[in-house]
């Protein structure tokens, strides 16, 4: 790991540290002048904030760096759940302040994503309506399978295809697993028939998508008013219905205010999962809502077909616990690349 990244990672866990603290904490082997120069570079990049002066100078991460700097997931998850230093409660400032003005994608990332989107647009322009629908159906099967697999569904991709195309259930699987997959199909069909439905996000329309995804699955409708836990973490989502509604309202407002469609889609994936507004089906709702935003704006939707379920969950957990979105952003970019290259 390079020294600059080590400095940022140290400050992530040790805010308001002196230069000597940083040197000792990362076992820096260079001179003090070299360390000072490296810190100055990160200050210039707006990753580090300087507090005080002379001997009382202390350093901390900027809001931008807290959100976007790479964290080592292997090191992070090598610690047991109760050993990790985490933010256990919901961070209202994340939505109301920190995410308001930060650009989530670097210039290079934005250029890359927009080049891929241009390829998608070119291919779609060369398709008939029927060809486009067929590709969307293929992507929808992959998305229904992977989205459900992330939630523990045991249908294979081939079994999912047969279920969604021929309505044939797989042997040895539960009725609930089939229903989960069929609900994805219904939600995606609804969005294709009503592509502008989530052009502007509202709580009631997100509740509509959740209702489609949880139909006949014994899940309470509407925003929850009871506590929920999240497996694998000490992060505790909000348990007050009024605060949940406020967080949802703030999130809809934040996403609606963004002009970058990729930012809209990424924020929907992360924040609706982070809030956990429903008793169940939160991440499914987040994935479909994110794709709805892409579809509404004429962008290529994402199937998540090649993402590893454990990697997906780890990236989500580190966002819950550290409010750091770097790992999940890499998943988003790689899955957008795959979607453009694989479909259409």
Whether 118 and 206 share a structural domain: yes
Summarised one tens digit per residue, pLDDT across range 185-225 is 999 999 999 999 999 999 999 999 999 999 999 999 999 99
DSSP 8-state code for residue 50: E
Same-domain check for residues 306 and 251: yes
Yes or no: say if 160 and 180 are a contact pair by the CB < 8 Å rule: no
Q: Is residue 234 part of a domain?
A: yes
Average pLDDT, the chain: 96
What domain range includes position 8? 3-61
Question: Do 46 and 141 belong to one domain?
Answer: no
DSSP state of 300: P
**55 pLDDT tier (thresholds 50, 70, 90):** confident
How far is Cα 230 from Cα 146, in angstroms, rounded to an integer? 20
**Residue 2, pLDDT score:** 81
239 shares a domain with 100: yes
User: Is there a contact between 95 and 275 (Cβ–Cβ < 8 Å)?
Assistant: no
Assess whether 222 and 280 both reside in one domain.
Answer: yes
Residue 109, domain CATH: 1.10.3290.10
**Per-residue confidence (pLDDT) for residue 324, from 0 to 100:** 97
Q: Which pair of structure tokens corresponds to residue 136?
A: 């969307």
Residues counted in the chain:
344
pLDDT tens by residue, 149-177: 999 999 999 999 999 999 999 999 999 99
Q: What is the pLDDT of residues 290-332, one digit of tens each?
A: 999 999 999 999 999 999 999 999 999 999 999 999 999 999 9
Mean pLDDT of 132-141: 95
In a domain, 81, yes or no: no
Residue 276 to residues 149, 236, 240, 294, Cα–Cα distance (Å): 19, 10, 12, 22
Does 106 share its domain with 245? Answer: yes
Q: Distance between terminal CA atoms of the chain?
A: 39
Burial 50-81 (b: 16+ CB within 10 A, else e): eeeeeeeebbbbbbbbbbbbebeeeebeeeee
pLDDT tens per residue, range 227-283: 999 999 999 999 999 999 999 999 999 999 999 999 999 999 999 999 999 999 999
Q: How far is it, in rounded angstroms, from Cα 313 to Cα 296?
A: 27
pTM: predicted TM-score of the whole model, two decimal places: 0.93
C-alpha dist (Å) from residue 53 to 34, 57, 59: 18, 4, 10
Asked if pLDDT for residue 53 goes beyond 70, the answer is yes
Angle at 214 between CA 211 and CA 215, to 5 degrees: 80
Q: What are phi and psi of 51, to 5 degrees?
A: -120, 130
Q: Is the pLDDT of residue 72 over 90?
A: no
Q: Which two tokens stand for residue 286?
A: 């987040």
Residue 66 lies in a domain: no
In the chain, the number of structural domains is 2
Q: Please, which pLDDT band fits residue 3 given cuts at 50, 70 and 90?
A: confident
The CATH number assigned to the domain holding 14 equals 1.10.10.10
> Which pLDDT value is given to residue 25?
93
Q: Are residues 24 and 100 in the same domain?
A: no
Could you tell me if 150 and 221 lie in one domain?
yes
Whether the pLDDT of residue 1 is over 80: the answer is no
């Amino acid at each position: 790991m390079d020294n600059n990244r080590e400095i940022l990672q140290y400050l992530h866990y040790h805010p308001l540290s002196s230069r000597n603290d940083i040197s000792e904490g990362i076992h820096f082997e260079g001179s003090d002048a070299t360390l000072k120069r490296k810190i100055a570079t990160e200050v210039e990049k707006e990753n580090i904030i300087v507090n005080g002066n002379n001997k009382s100078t202390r350093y901390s991460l900027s809001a931008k760096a807290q959100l976007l700097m790479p964290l080592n997931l292997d090191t992070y998850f090598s610690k047991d759940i109760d050993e990790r230093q985490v933010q256990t409660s919901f961070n209202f400032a994340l939505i109301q302040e920190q995410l308001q003005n930060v650009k989530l994608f670097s210039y290079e990332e934005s250029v890359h994503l927009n080049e891929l989107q241009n390829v998608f647009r070119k291919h779609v322009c060369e398709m008939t309506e029927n060809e486009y629908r067929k590709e969307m159906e293929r992507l929808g099967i992959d998305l229904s399978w992977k989205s459900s697999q992330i939630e523990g569904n045991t249908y294979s991709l081939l079994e999912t295809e047969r279920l969604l195309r021929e309505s044939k259930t797989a042997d040895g699987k539960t009725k609930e697993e089939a229903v989960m997959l069929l609900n994805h199909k219904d939600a995606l069909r609804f969005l294709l028939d009503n592509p502008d439905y989530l052009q502007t996000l509202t709580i009631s329309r997100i509740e509509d998508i959740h209702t489609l995804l949880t139909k006949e699955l014994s899940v309470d409708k509407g925003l929850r008013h009871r506590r929920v836990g999240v497996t694998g973490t000490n992060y505790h989502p909000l348990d007050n219905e009024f605060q949940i509604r406020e967080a949802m309202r703030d999130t809809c407002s934040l996403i609606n205010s963004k002009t970058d469609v990729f930012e809209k889609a990424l924020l929907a994936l992360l924040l609706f999962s982070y809030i956990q507004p429903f008793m169940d089906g939160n991440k499914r709702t987040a994935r479909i809502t994110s794709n709805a935003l892409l579809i509404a704006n004429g962008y290529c939707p994402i199937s998540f077909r090649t993402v590893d379920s454990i990697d997906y969950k780890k990236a989500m957990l580190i966002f819950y616990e550290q409010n750091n979105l770097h790992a999940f952003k890499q998943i988003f970019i790689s899955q957008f690349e795959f979607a453009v290259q694989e479909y259409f």
